[in-house]
Each structure stands twice: as C-alpha cells, then as structure tokens.
Amino acid sequence: MSALVAEADRAAAAGNLSRAINLLEQAGVADPSDAQLWLKLAALRRAARQPGKALDAVNRALQLAEFDFMALTMRATLVEQLAPDQAGEAWARALHQRPSGELPSQLREALGRGEAIRDRWIAAREQKLVEATAHLADEATAEEAARIARFQSNVLRKTRPYHSEPTHFAFPGLAEREFHPRSEHPWIEQVEVATDAIAAELETVMSAERAELVPYIQYEEHDALAQWRELNRNPDWTAIHLIRNGERIDANARHCPATMELLATLPQPEIPGAGPNAMFSLLAPHTTIPPHVGVNNSRLVCHLPLVVPPGCWFRVGAETRHWQRGEAFLFDDTIEHEAANPSDELRVVFIFDVWHPALTEVEREAVRRVIASEGGVDNAL
C-alpha cells in the first residue's frame, strides 16, 4: 500500500490529480483503516472540485479518528459549501478540538471565518431556546431561572456539565450542584451579619504574637497530589486555622471568641480526624490556585469574604464569581474549582465546612464511622 501512496504523491506533485485520486482509492481498498490516507484522498478530491466525494472521504477518516482537528476542519469547510445550514454545527465541532499554539496563517483565516459561522449558529439557537421558555419567566423562582439558563447554556455547549469527583470519600446519590442555593441554608444570613465581628477577630489573631500561620497545603513531597504540586508548602497561600480536622487550634481560636461561638451554632460535620474545619484563608497578591477537587462530598464548603481587593475571582465548574465582602456562598468542593488574586493586595476569606443537607442522620453517622475507621484525612478545604 505504501507504494501506491508514494506513487499517488508523485502524481499529485506532477499535477495529475485524477491519477493520484485513483491510486489513493486503490490504497484505501487495500487498507481501509488508515485515517490519514482518507484525509489525503479528501484533500485531493476537494482540489479536483469534487466536494461531495471529498466529504465522503473525510467522513471515512473521522470514523477512524473522530477528534482529528484537521479532518474536522476540512469537513466543516466542505459542509459550508454543500449544506450551509449545517455549517454552524460542523464548525462548532471542529473548533472544539482546536489545539493550543500557533497555527499557519491560512488555517487561522479559515478558522476565523468558521468562528463567525459558529457564533451566528449559536446565537440563532439561543434565541430559539429563549423563546421556547419565555412564558416561564413569571413562574420560575430565581433559582429555577438560573438552572434553566444553565440548561440552555449546556445545550448550546457554551458550558458543560461538571461532576463531583472526591479524592477520597464519595457518598452516592447526592445532587451535584456547583454553588448551593441560599434558601436551603437559612443560617447563612447569621454568618453575613457577623462579617464585621469576624473581620475584627481576624485582625486580632493576625497581630497576636503566638498565632499560627501555616501554608494552606501541606503534604509530604512523596505524597503530594499532582493538583497541589505548585502550592504544596507555598507561603503564597496560607491559613490561620481555628479548627483543623476536628481539633481546636487554641493558639488562634482563643483570639476569636465571637467567631467560635458562631461556628458552634452551625451544622458542621463532626468527623474524627476530618472535621469540622474553620480557618482564615490568605491568598497573596498575583497568586492563582489551580483547578482541583476536594476530599469528601458529604460536606459543603462556605466562603465568607473579608478582605477582597478588586478582581479576585472564584470558579466552581462552569460558574465564576467575584468575591464580595460580606456575601457568603456555599459550594461543593469536590467539583473542580480554582481561584485567583490578580491584585497587588492580600485577599482573605473565612472558610468553614457544613454537612451536605441531603444526608439523613443515619447517613451522617455512617460517614463519621467510615471516615474515622480510615483514620480521617488531612483535609484541604
């Protein structure tokens, strides 16, 4: 077969496209499992102004290598010519596989055109979806409206589903939500009302001589998870723990009586060797926390922003929020999340965990016993 391909290359170089195509067709019969051969045949058929046959060949290539960027791009250009009403979807599929790095100028030009076609296609679909649900606007709550909007965004592939992926303890059957609705946690308002008091105790503990400020992530080098390699024992991300894996850190907690009193009223998970946890998280200027997932999906994590320079952001799954002082939120930290402080100032957030509200008392007790029997875990909130 390689002899046929080599001969076809010579024929193509000599301008004899008909012979080159014939030779590659013979090679394809001899070995139909070579995706690059079909892609080469598609290119020659397109050059010979046989777009329909070129599309057949590129589809054969994609049967063998469905994510091949060049094959998808060639298919998009052919669909654009043969069936313009289907070109938006074809370009969306191709552009989704666009590799990183610099591309040839001719290809960049084609991709620019493809992006415009894709964007028009998405905008038209989005308008249809909005019109299809417009009559529900007066019926939906704010939370329902947000979920419907995300549903539409997922359909359009502007966002994608994210799933809970705990590193250690995965309790089954829990709803996967990136940020959890405030309506299920009425105590969150108490936390927000206490913002000034908690911030004042933060200042006290930060100025105390015997307070303990430690790197947020601390693993032995041979145990460090890949997601923490850059920040393991890094002073750019530090914590002042009040409670760590269920143990009161008295060097810090004694300076924060109001904060500790508030925590005692919250549904924190009491799990030997694992919870509860509560801390002040300090992120240095121009520091990024890479995408990562947490340990245990039977709990949620609450953030209460205290010191937030402009531009600091936090992403869970497909939703990105900017921290606002005194505005708390709850999220599932076993769904991929990341954060950044792009400013020139320190960012401080008060962080603590609570039970996942879907767990029954019996299930909570099972979680306690299972995690305790495993010796707990060195949590990274």
- Provide the residue-wise pLDDT of the chain in tens; the chain has 381 residues: 578 888 888 888 899 989 988 988 898 888 899 999 999 999 999 999 999 999 999 999 999 999 999 999 999 999 999 999 999 999 999 999 999 889 998 899 999 999 999 999 999 999 999 999 999 989 999 889 999 999 999 999 889 999 999 999 999 999 999 999 999 999 999 999 999 999 999 999 998 866 566 665 444 544 445 544 555 445 568 899 999 999 999 999 999 999 999 999 999 999 999 999 999 999 999 999 999 999 999 999 999 999 999 999 999 999 999 999 999 999 999 999 999 999 999 999 999 999 999 999 999 999 999 999 998 865 444
- In order of 89, 126, 129, 170, the CA distances from 132 in angstroms are 20, 10, 5, 37
pTM listed for this prediction: 0.80
CATH says 179-373 is which class? mainly beta
Q: Which residue has the tokens 């051969």?
A: 37
Q: Can you tell me the distance from the alpha carbon of 214 to that of 378, in angstroms, rounded to the nearest whole number? A: 14
The conformation of residue 5, written as its DSSP 8-state character, comes to H
User: Tell me, what's the pLDDT at 222?
Assistant: 47
Q: Can you tell me the distance from the alpha carbon of 196 to that of 218, in angstroms, rounded to the nearest whole number? A: 30
Decide: helix, strand or coil at residue 275. strand
Please state the φ and ψ torsions of residue 90, each to the nearest 5 degrees.
Answer: -65, -40
Residues with Cβ within 8 Å of 172's Cβ and at least 6 positions away in sequence, in order, are: none
Token pair belonging to 272:
């030997």
User: Tell me, what's the pLDDT at 380?
Assistant: 41
| Domain residue limits, the chain | 2-123, 179-373
User: Tell me, what's the pLDDT at 12?
Assistant: 84
Concatenated DSSP letters of 53-88: HHHHHHHHHHHH-TT-HHHHHHHHHHHHHH-GGGHH
* Domain range 2-123, its CATH number among 1.25.40.10, 3.30.300.30, 3.30.930.10, 1.20.1090.10: 1.25.40.10
Edge-to-edge, what's the strand order for the sheet holding 287-292? 287-292, 337-341, 313-316, 319-322
Residues with Cβ within 8 Å of 325's Cβ and at least 6 positions away in sequence, in order, are: 195, 305, 306, 307, 308
User: Tell me, what's the pLDDT at 376?
Assistant: 81
User: Tell me, what's the pLDDT at 381?
Assistant: 46
Q: Enumerate long-range contacts of 39-43, CB under 8 Å, 24 or more apart.
A: 39/68, 39/70, 39/71, 39/74, 40/5, 40/8, 42/71, 42/74, 42/78, 43/74
Question: What does the angle CA 164 – CA 167 – CA 168 come to, to the nearest 5 degrees?
Answer: 110
Please name the amino acid found at residue 133: T
